Structure 1
Amino acid sequence: MTLTATRFDWVRQLVHRESAIVLAPGKEYLVEARLLPLARKMGLADVDQLVDAVRSRPRPDDTRQIVEALTTNETSWFRDGDPFTALTSTVLPALQSARGPAERLQIWSAACSSGQEAYTIAMLLEDAMPNAATRVSITATDISREMVERTRAGRFSQLEVNRGLPAPMLVRHFQRAGSEWEVSPTLRRMVATRECNLAAPLPRMGPFDVVYLRNVLIYFDLPTKQAILRRVRELMRPDGWLFLGAAETTLGVDDSWSRVVIGRTSAYRPLKGA
């Protein structure tokens, strides 16, 4: 490792200021591993040189690339499966019962990474609802411009489709595009993409019937978690449903949500009057 304590502290403060992500002491190796490819891309020998260059001549594009390199983009199809089972078994029937036949369902896949979650939802609803492409709108957002562009492209490598995508769904919803797989035009019409920093004021979106905000809150401190949950609630319908990661909860963080157990998972719903 070449990253000094002073330079790590500068990176830590930059990332927290721009994204509210907390890089605790002990994450020096992670920073080194994530930023070294960026340093090499810029023709620099190591991460110390990268940090010195950006500190001496700060440019928005360079700082953005540093922050994006340090955001976690781990994802797969049907990740932790139960929240998707809950969508089709419980949430979708409840929403269809509560909504008029002409009302469009709006779903938000927040911190969508390269798009597997958003397209997983699209596939499930396409299989569960007639004319889903005209009845469902899925908004996929991420802080990373690269991830948003990848989601918009809807193209995945063989290795990526091997991570959790059932073969029948691959055949039904994808087509070959050279060495990659491309989502069908129907799925693409269901998914809209945009950049979004959850730790900053959110853009005008929604109102959402369902929000998937999974494996995101674990990277923030308590005040930021509270602020994000408040902002998300403001973009939801009063009877909407929120899915968090298996290690995440609103309990002890924001008491304006009620927890609903659905099979082997839980969803959270805004409390009336909160």
Structure 2
Amino acid sequence: MIGGAELTRFRELLQRRLGWTFADSDGGQTMTVLEERAAAHSLSARGYLDRLGGRRWAAEIAELAEALSITETYFFRHSEQFRVLADRVLPERIAARAGQRVLRLLSVGCSSGEEAYSLAIVAGQARPGRDWIVSVLGVDANRQVLAQARAATYSSWSLRETPPEIQRRWFEETEDGFRVADEIVEMVRFAEQNVAVDEPQLWQPGRYDVIFCRNLLMYLTSETASGLITRMTRALAPGGYLFLGHTDSLGSHPEGLEMRYDGDTVHYRRPEPEPAPARRPAPRAAPPVEPAPAPEGDVHERAFGLMIDDRFAEALTLLDRHHPSGTRDLLLRGVLLAQLGRLAEARAAAHRLMDVGGPHPDAHHLLGVCHELDCAEQAAGQYRLAAYLDPAFAMPRLRMGLLARRRGDHRGAVVHLQPALELLAREDEERITLFGGGFGRLALTTLCRTELDACGVRP
């Protein structure tokens, strides 16, 4: 029989690992979960708690998140917030992002994905043209609901607040329910993330235009909630917006944010920095004599040559020594990081490239390469964006064809491999070197022909 001491210790461990807080009324459910998880590992309650507290146990933390999460949600929940998003927030952010043509939105505690897809639908409808990229990321600690989110198929109950015109435009009725349109699915990706942990890749400063974090803070300890608010504030772009649930409040003067009120909807905006006052320049001192830096072109060509010789680490060291800032150098740096297996840094380099130069087909292709190891669906989505942004780009077509072959979709493979074969003859030599995996034009063309032959097509 589990006693009060074990229950108290279990709650303390959950607070430490997940940042969750519990009311006295939650005791019955929490004790049941403790009993079930201990039994699942053939351990006593004390033995289970010792193991949970003694070392990192990521798989079990994911199981606990599934067992204890409250996951009920639906599309366009609290529709007044989506109205403000569409009418006020997104037009403002679109004007701010006109040079980059990218909108980034984050759903924290996304559960089974309805909120993330709702954000994508609203942002997709608001974007000025097809050349704008809408990127929505949904994060949650519950692995089970994330699997449901990636399936993108929902019951009619999940669409109970969805306007009929949106349901007709963005959902397809299937035998299993209602599936979100592929165009929206391609805008959204999901990641397992414990909000009690500061993940630098997720919380990059100034990254997101809009963050939704609704009805989550109330379940967190004050320390975890405070840390999460700080990270969300930091991750908002200047002028970006934070939406919380009706049960959450940051007060009227939250640090780093300004409160906005629209009708009966409260939300928060990260203010843009005020321009610094002009200063009278100080007298100039004679600059110290330094050796002239190597011309940028020389640095790039030397690093590129090292990459051709498979000397990736040396090439990266050379680039970093000269602080790459141009788009060619940023792309080369991202490819080198991917070759060295430093995928999180490679993804960050690709996003930085888009921050500097706006929608960039090579950056999206690099993201696809990074995602092939962990999520083929996300990789295919990035390749589709690369091919859309540059219809003459052969490499994403080739990769999409190979992914289709890998999952046994011969018809889909042919759709991509045939144009890839034609485009490879005119593909830029530098792109082949960057993304060909060490293979030249002839080898890639042979590979494309071989794969088409395997699909029953004689090229």
Supply the distance in 2 between the matched residues of 1:39 and 1:136 (Cα, whole angstroms): 43
Q: Give how far 1:60 is off.
A: 4.0
Question: Which structure 2 residues correspond to residues 161-180 of structure 1 after superposition, within 5 A?
Answer: 161=159, 163-180=160-177
For 1:146, the equivalent position in structure 2 comes to 144
> 123-132 or 262-271, which moves further after superposition?
123-132
Supply the distance in 2 between the matched residues of 1:153 and 1:227 (Cα, whole angstroms): 31
Contact 1:214–1:244 under 8 Å retained in 2: yes
Which one has the largest radius of gyration? 2
Q: Is the partner of 1:100 in helix, strand or coil?
A: coil
For 2:87, the equivalent position in structure 1 comes to 89
Structure 1 pair 63–140 and aligned structure 2 pair: CA distance change class (3 A): closer
Supply the distance in 1 between the matched residues of 2:93 and 2:254 (Cα, whole angstroms): 24
In structure 2, the gaps of 5 or more residues are 275-459
Structure 1 pair 70–13 and aligned structure 2 pair: CA distance change class (3 A): same
Supply the distance in 2 between the matched residues of 1:125 and 1:196 (Cα, whole angstroms): 23
Contact 2:76–2:161 under 8 Å retained in 1: yes
Larger RCO, structure (CA 8 Å, separation 6 or more): 1
- C-alpha distance after superposition, 1:166-222 (max 9, x if no partner): 333223212234222211110111101111222211341460011101111112233
Are residues 1:198 and 2:195 paired?
yes
Question: Which structure 2 residues correspond to residues 209-224 of structure 1 after superposition, within 5 A?
Answer: 209-224=209-224
> 78-87 or 121-130, which moves further after superposition?
121-130
For 2:126, the equivalent position in structure 1 comes to 128
Contact 2:2–2:45 under 8 Å retained in 1: no
For 2:49, the equivalent position in structure 1 comes to 55
> 29-38 or 19-28, which moves further after superposition?
29-38
Q: How many aligned residue pairs are there? A: 267
Supply the distance in 2 between the matched residues of 1:231 and 1:33 (Cα, whole angstroms): 33
Q: Give how far 1:272 is off.
A: 5.0
Letter in 2 for 1:191: V
For 2:24, the equivalent position in structure 1 comes to 25
For 1:70, the equivalent position in structure 2 comes to 68
Contact 1:139–1:191 under 8 Å retained in 2: yes
Q: Give how far 1:253 is off.
A: 8.4
Q: Give how far 1:104 is off.
A: 0.2
> 143-152 or 209-218, which moves further after superposition?
143-152
For 1:266, the equivalent position in structure 2 comes to 266
Of 114, 117, 140, the residue aligned with 1:116 is 114
Supply the distance in 2 between the matched residues of 1:37 and 1:169 (Cα, whole angstroms): 42
Structure 1 pair 6–110 and aligned structure 2 pair: CA distance change class (3 A): same
User: Taking every aligned residue pair, what percent have the same amino acid on both sides?
Assistant: 26
Letter in 2 for 1:54: Y
TM-score by length of 1: 0.85
For 1:183, the equivalent position in structure 2 comes to 180
Higher strand share: 1
In structure 1, the gaps of 5 or more residues are none
Letter in 2 for 1:109: S
Supply the distance in 2 between the matched residues of 1:272 and 1:250 (Cα, whole angstroms): 19
For 2:304, the equivalent position in structure 1 comes to none
Supply the distance in 2 between the matched residues of 1:214 and 1:109 (Cα, whole angstroms): 9
Structure 1 pair 236–170 and aligned structure 2 pair: CA distance change class (3 A): same
For 2:13, the equivalent position in structure 1 comes to 14
